[in-house]
Amino acid sequence: MGSSKKRVQSFKELQLDPLIQKGVDSAGYQRPFPIQELAIAPLLSGRNVIGQAKTGSGKTAAFGIPLLQSLDSRVNRVQALVLAPTRELAVQITSELKKIGAFTGARIVTIYGGQSINVQFEALQRGVHVVVGTPGRVIDHIKRGTLLLDSAKFVVIDEADTMLDMGFVDDVEFILDSVSENRQLSLFSATMPQPIVELARKYMRDPERILVDANDPTVETLEQFYAVVNQEEKYSLLTDLLGRLKPKSTVIFCRTKYGTRRLARELERQFQSVVPLHGDLSQHQRDHSMSTFRQGNADVLVATDVASRGIDIRQVDCVINFDVPQDTLLYFHRVGRTARAGDSGKAYTFVSPEEFEDFARIKQMSKWQIKPLRPEDASHHLESVQPNNQGRGRYGGFQPGERSRYGRRRWTQRGASRGRNFNR
């Protein structure tokens, strides 16, 4: 467990290169997050590190600071490689590295499928120090001879469990086999399934293991709720909840691309500031959705799981699981989009009777309470619940006596709430 390991209390204690310290300061990082307290020092000393930490824990800077410090800006070769499962995560890692490395002269390039290989080829040809990429495209460049990794000495595998879910483990192995054996390797993953443990065993000698979960400050600031609702009533519950919560920034997750597209369209008809994110969109459309949402020009992002994994958007105050994810771990990835970096957030999961089983597994696995959202609870959390003329909360009531298989009352929505404006 991480707590028995040495923790640094401040960035100053790490005696970073002054130009990197300047980047840390200008990023506004006053004190290290737990994963940084534990991981930066061993990485600076050249150790291999396995970090079990979620996105939102500050893991990018945990490997990013030592990565940048390992570079020699006079050497015009690729010295560091970061592998990420999705293009969105790769782009986000690059922007974090550029922020911290702003004063170091480090040249960093992102390479991922969907972008013109020639554009990436030209960027690589100009000479870069750091490559952040998705496995498929990195292999493409290796095979074409446009990416030489013989000088790469700092290698990071980020979100290793997602790599596994997406079937990238063989690709990761291929890439690791292309890199010099003397490289320093670090691997970050929210969970440690057996194939990842084996991957680490195969490629890492004497790694320092760091676990940040119970200590993760981001989890304590997250409140989780669920509502049992029939599938066909989810939409009106959603618009009603949005109308009452008035969140500034909401991510809504759906299981399928089709469902995501349909929900985004429907919401867009009523509320203009909605953007979709799913795998059927072109890279350009996905980038556009992300930047619109990130800049606060859309209140709502409707997304599938794959498209959104690892995405870091600060100040998402609300996550809504319109569908319960079939894969239990996805639930934790989804709700981890809010309450990041110490901010508070709320997560709501809509559970239809068909989804009881999937949700029961999630509840069982969660260390944190997922509370039933009932009108009387919600009045503490939702704004302006007006009693209606039947003495129930305005936003729908229980059908007295009706119980779900959980033995809890069923949330039902009375009347449509379409057309309500949930924008501020």
Please count the CA atoms within 13 angstroms of the CA of 260 that sit on its side-chain side: 24
DSSP H helices, 246-355, are 257-270, 283-294, 305-308, 328-335
Instruction: Provide the minimum distance between the beta carbon of 326 and ligand AMP in the complex, in angstroms, as a whole number.
Output: 25
Nearer to ligand AMP, 165 or 312 (CB): 312
Report, in Å, the least distance between residue 93 CB and ligand AMP: 8
Q: Which residues contact 125 (CB under 8 A, 6 or more apart)?
A: 146
Site string for ligand AMP, 325-344 (x = CB under 6 A): ---------------xx---
Binding footprint of ligand AMP, residue count (CB under 6 A): 16
C-alpha span between 312 and 31 (Å, rounded):
19
Give 112 or 398: the residue with its C-beta nearer to ligand AMP.
Answer: 112
Q: What residues between 36 and 75 interact with ligand AMP by CB under 6 A?
A: 36, 55-61
Binding mask 337-376 vs ligand AMP (x if CB under 6 A, - otherwise)?
A: ---xx-----------------------------------
DSSP readout, 90-107? HHHHHHHHHHHTTTTT--
Name residue 321's beta-bridge partners. 253, 349
Please, what is the end-to-end C-alpha distance for the chain in angstroms?
A: 44
Residues 250, 311, 228, 409, CA torsion sign: negative
CB of 186 to ligand AMP, least distance (A): 13
Cα separation, 251 vs 232, whole angstroms? 20
**SS3 state of residue 344:** coil
One of 2, 23, 32, 66 touching ligand AMP (CB under 6 A): 32
Judged by DSSP in three states, 185 sits in strand
210 closest CA partner among 64, 58, 52, 57: 52
Tell me how far apart the alpha carbons of residues 147 and 120 are, in angstroms, rounded to a whole number: 10
Q: Closer to ligand AMP at the Cβ: 281 or 311?
A: 311
Q: Which is nearer to ligand AMP, 60 or 134 (CB)?
A: 60
Beta carbon nearer to ligand AMP, 43 or 378: 43
Please name every residue paired with 275 in a beta bridge, in sequence order, or none if there are none: 301
Contact between 393 and ligand AMP (CB under 6 A)?
no
Q: Quick one: 28 or 391, whose CB is closer to ligand AMP? A: 28
Q: Pattern of binders to ligand AMP over 78-107, x per CB under 6 A?
A: ------------------x-----------
Rule CB under 6 A: choose which of 2, 16, 23, 29 binds ligand AMP: 29
Report 291-320 residues binding ligand AMP (CB under 6 A).
312, 314
Q: List residues binding ligand AMP (CB under 6 A).
A: 29, 32-33, 36, 55-61, 96, 312, 314, 340-341
